[in-house]
Amino acid sequence: MSIGHTLLGLLESGPRHGYDLKRTFDEKFGQDRPLHYGQVYSTMSRLLKNGLVEVDGVESEGGPERKRYAITDAGITDVTQWLAQPEKPEPYLQSTLYTKVVLALLTDRSAAGLLDTQRSAHLRMMRVLTDRKRKGDLADQLICDHALFHLEADLRWLELTAARLDQLAKVVAP
């Protein structure tokens, strides 16, 4: 995820302080990976340097100074271009899981056991996500669906690989 573009997009609704940006980001996108304050401020500094945001005001209200950032026209153009670009589909051709299966075969370890253990881990995670989805709002449901679909694809691969282990063993460890 592009943190800079996401923060720019959040600024389109109006100027905000770094604290407000972090809080909104965490509410909308960061439930599993909240932003660190340092990441917000370093990103805002970079966006400011690149002319994508400007300081709209500074307030102190008895505490430390707080800059309020506003998106510039260049920032709006940048977000528009980013949103129009499709994300690169990741084919995962160099999978750690595949590497572990092959190494298990090469070292006379149980590749079938490895696949069973991985299947159990995937099923546990699917139960957690399904429970979270059931209790969550629409945004959380969609995020969980995305993860669940990926886990389902992994499970199909695990089953296919388990069914082909003898063939794979002949190819990788003749």
What pLDDT sits at residue 96? Answer: 84
Mean pLDDT of 121-133: 96
> Would the pLDDT of 93 be above 90?
no
State the DSSP string of the chain. --HHHHHHHHHTTS-EEHHHHHHHHHHHT-SSSPPPHHHHHHHHHHHHHTTSEEEEEEE-TTSS-EEEEEE-HHHHHHHHHHHHSPPPP----S-HHHHHHHHHHHTT--HHHHHHHHHHHHHHHHHHHHHHHHHS-HHHHHHHHHHHHHHHHHHHHHHHHHHTHHHHHHHH--
pLDDT by residue (tens digit) across 144-161? Answer: 999 999 999 999 999 999
